[in-house]
């Protein structure tokens, strides 16, 4: 187990058993998160980012989903083998999650105040009056004015940006050690996105929390990440510090993601897009999953799945171009 790591994920595999076959949504994923740091998980939609987060939180619905292999250690606790009772003590208390769509994650029949109070009463055993007072303070903390009035509001009475701030308030209510934010700026306009990211970054630093941020926006990654994990078709294909990933990306997929980012002074140029699509996750062949879309593909890429290769102490890549054991290109 890595020194000073608050979270260790080892060979995590989550599959969904459907009528059409087994969907290998997360396939032997491993990474660590150090205390007080931010890890960004990036990749296209459907690459397994959210399923990884839901697996860590113990929120995979069974059936059809099941964690079939691997370990998740949080401060020495084995989350995969923890009882439902123990997981309930951790969920929302020690680890909190900000979900992707606040419009569907907030309960429409409860006021936002009641929803912030719930974890405070459940985990911190506060009285209703104590929980209400703290909930109002949390609404102020996330930058919403008229906190007493907003406390009594229902989700549909708030804008998308305010709803997302309420989701952050709920996640922060028990002062967790780890926050998992699953694309927290989805469906928000650019100005509000920046405000939400600044809010998360500032609160994380003030409270010395750790954070996993799931996103496909590399601009977000550059701004907030300490460490980056790039996922493709359920696997980690590159990982490293944010400096290493942006300065010297190795995997053709990572390079493609970086090329796809709009550049302000190149507005007249056609925006680059990676050709092709993510492969069907049912019945994956033992080959490089990016093979069909890669301009550097070799014969071995079709025949064999690449192993992780160390670029340096802070940088690993899963690509035959950098696998020295096979005498591939370096």
Query: Does the residue 132 lie in any domain?
Result: no
Range of the domain at 58: 5-94+174-326
Nearest-5° Cα angle at 49, 14 to 182:
125
Instruction: Indicate left, alpha or beta for 193 from its phi (over 0: left) and psi (-120 to 50: alpha).
Output: alpha
The answer to whether residue 115 sits within a structural domain is no
- Show Cβ contacts of residue 308 under 8 Å, excluding neighbours closer than 6 positions: 316, 317, 318
In a domain, 213, yes or no: yes
Residue 113 belongs to some domain of the structure: no
What separation in angstroms does the CA of 279 have from each of 6, 15, 106, 236, 238?
33, 15, 33, 15, 18
Question: Is residue 160 situated within a structural domain?
Answer: no
Look at residue 239 in the predicted model and tell me its pLDDT.
96
- Measured between its terminal Cα atoms, the distance across the chain in Å is 30
- Dihedral pair phi/psi, residue 193, rounded to 5°: -55, -50
CA proximity to 29, closest of 6, 3, 61, 54: 54
Number of domains observed in the structure of the chain? 1
Distance, CA of 287 to CA of 241 (rounded, Å): 27
Q: Could you tell me the CATH number of the domain that includes residue 25?
A: 3.40.50.300
Domain assignment present for 317: yes
Pairing state between β 5-18 and 21-34? antiparallel
* Residue at 128 is within a domain: no
Q: Give how far the C-alpha of residue 160 lies from the chain's centroid of Cα atoms, to the nearest Å.
A: 20
- How many Å apart are CA 87 and CA 226, to the nearest integer? 28
Q: Say whether pTM exceeds 0.85.
A: yes
Q: Which two tokens stand for residue 222?
A: 């550059």
The reply to whether 145 falls in a domain is no
Say what the pLDDT of residue 265 is. Answer: 67
Per-residue pLDDT of the chain (330 residues; tens, 9 = 90+): 355 789 999 999 999 999 999 999 999 999 999 999 999 999 988 899 999 999 999 999 888 999 999 999 999 999 999 999 999 999 989 999 998 777 788 999 999 999 999 999 999 999 999 999 999 999 998 888 899 999 999 999 998 889 989 999 999 999 999 999 998 877 677 788 888 888 888 888 888 999 999 988 887 888 889 999 999 999 999 999 999 999 999 999 999 998 887 766 666 677 788 888 889 999 888 889 999 999 899 999 999 999 888 888 889 999 999 876 544 443
């Amino acid at each position: 187990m890595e020194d000073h790591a608050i979270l260790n994920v080892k060979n995590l595999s989550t599959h969904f058993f459907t009528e059409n076959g087994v969907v290998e949504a997360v396939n032997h994923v491993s990474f660590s998160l150090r205390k007080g740091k931010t890890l960004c998980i990036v990749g296209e939609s459907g690459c397994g980012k959210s399923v990884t987060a839901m697996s860590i939180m113990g929120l995979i619905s069974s059936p059809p989903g099941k964690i079939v292999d691997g370990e998740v250690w949080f401060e020495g606790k084995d989350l995969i083998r923890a009882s439902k009772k123990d997981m309930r003590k951790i969920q929302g208390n020690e680890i909190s999650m900000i979900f992707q769509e606040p419009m569907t994650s907030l309960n429409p029949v409860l006021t936002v105040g009641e929803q912030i109070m719930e974890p405070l009463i459940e985990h911190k055993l506060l009285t209703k009056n104590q929980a209400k007072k703290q909930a109002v303070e949390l609404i102020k903390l996330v930058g919403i004015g008229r906190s007493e009035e907003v406390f009594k509001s229902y989700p549909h009475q708030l804008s998308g940006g305010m709803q997302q701030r309420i989701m952050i308030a709920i996640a922060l209510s028990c002062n967790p050690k780890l926050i998992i934010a699953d694309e927290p700026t989805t469906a928000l306009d650019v100005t509000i996105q920046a405000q939400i990211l600044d809010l998360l970054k500032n609160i994380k630093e003030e409270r010395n929390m750790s954070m996993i941020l799931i996103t496909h926006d590399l601009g977000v990654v550059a701004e907030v990440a300490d460490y980056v994990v790039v996922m493709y078709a359920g696997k980690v294909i590159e990982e490293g510090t944010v400096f290493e990933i942006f300065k010297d990306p190795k995997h053709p997929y990572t390079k493609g993601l970086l090329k796809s980012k709009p550049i302000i002074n190149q507005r007249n140029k056609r925006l680059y897009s990676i050709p092709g699509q993510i492969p069907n996750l049912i019945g994956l062949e033992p080959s490089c999953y990016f093979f069909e879309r890669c301009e550097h593909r070799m014969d071995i890429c079709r025949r064999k799945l690449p192993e992780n290769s160390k670029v340096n102490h802070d940088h690993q890549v899963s690509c035959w171009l950098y696998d020295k054991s096979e005498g591939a290109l370096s």
